[in-house]
Amino acid sequence: MRLITIEFLCFDLTFFCNRLRIALNVHDFINSKAPPFPDSPTPPILTSPLLLQFFFLAMDALRRNNSPFDCLLFDLDDTLYPSSIGISQECKKNIDEFLRMKCGLWQEEASSLRVELFKTHGSSLAGLMALGYDVHPDAYHSLVHGLLPYERIAPDPKLRELLLSITQPKILFTNSDRKHASRVLQRLGIEEECFHRIICFETMNPELFELRPNSTPLQTPPVVILKPFPAAFNAAISIAGFHPHRMLFLDDSESNISTAKSAGLCTAVVGRRTRMKEADYALETISGLRRAIPEIWCDEGGELTGLAVRNELDAIRTTTALVEA
């Protein structure tokens, strides 16, 4: 006896179905005791409950939606609009100014601190709070985002059309505050209703906005949840409500892509011509999404790819193995 893990079943669904379609009538196989293959006993491979589970899962996926993705997670800044317009650079300048005023630093010191806090805590706000500074998120965001030149973001009707063509639930997943996300979407000409949910700073850190009129000061600094840390992706997966292997995450940040891949998500890095190690896809701009990942729209009659089969199998492989006699 030797174990064969489910990994060995990751072959093309088209090949699998074509081999069975000519010999197997699923309805008769379920409801009849007659062998599905004329003049031959039921093949042993078809008596395996796991193989039957795989077959029915795959056929159900083929019927309802050929796409390997049930949900798409989109980053906002430098993903839905190009980084070349300089919004991120202006944001960094505003953060430096906030640090300079809050910590009494010279300009060069503020820039160095910003870089260090980003590396260790995910953002300057999270770093300041971890170090014990009395900083309210609203005050931070009002300066860092409130002074941004939003007029640089031009309406993008083609992006709106692209997003609306995606029938799966779409979730905006950003570290920014909700007000910033709303302003960016407004400038792009994209209604918030285009997204099933918006996961933002407030979504991931609701306790930071709770009023504590009679409470004692916190003994330990609050933990701020942000990408690229696992807690942020765990929260997003929980909110989305889909299996991570059936979700596609699009972001321009390599560190975010890396954590997303570790969490089990399918990943697409935006702003690169070539894939990085943890990215399943790469696209220079979001406008090239249909060309780079056409399987998103496979419910329009496209082929079900091997990735879709693997995603179905990933949902059951953690606890199941096949035994071959």
Structural domain spans, the chain: 2-66+305-324, 71-207+223-300
Task: Check if CATH label 3.40.50.1000 holds for domain 71-207+223-300.
Answer: yes
Model-level pTM? 0.74
DSSP 149: -
Asked if 26 contacts 53 with a C-beta cutoff of 8 angstroms, the reply is no
The residue ranges of the chain whose pLDDT is under 50 are 1-46, 62-64, 213-214, 300-306, 308, 316-325
**Strand 2-5 with 321-324, pairing:** antiparallel
Q: How far is CA 319 from the centre of its chain?
A: 24
Tell me, what's the pLDDT at 12?
42
Spatial separation of the C-alpha atoms in residues 312 and 308, rounded to whole Å: 6
Cβ partners under 8 Å of residue 202, min gap 6? 177, 178, 209
Of the candidates 46, 220, 219, 226, the one whose C-alpha atom is nearest the C-alpha of residue 120 is 226
Residue linked to tokens 């089969």:
309
Which ranges in the chain belong to alpha helices (H)?
A: 13-21, 26-31, 49-64, 87-103, 107-121, 124-130, 137-144, 157-165, 178-188, 201-204, 230-240, 254-262, 289-292, 306-317
Report helix, strand or coil for 6.
helix
Report helix, strand or coil for 317.
helix
Spatial separation of the C-alpha atoms in residues 202 and 176, rounded to whole Å: 9
Asked if 207 contacts 136 with a C-beta cutoff of 8 angstroms, the reply is no
Tell me, what's the pLDDT at 155?
98
Asked if 36 contacts 24 with a C-beta cutoff of 8 angstroms, the reply is yes
Tell me, what's the pLDDT at 95?
98
Record the tokens describing residue 142, joined without a space.
């009002």
Report helix, strand or coil for 37.
coil
Dihedral angle sign, alpha carbons of residues 9, 13, 19, 22: positive
- Core vs surface per residue 275-300: b (16+ CB within 10 A) or e: eeebbbbbbebbeebeebbebbbbee
Tell me, what's the pLDDT at 48?
60
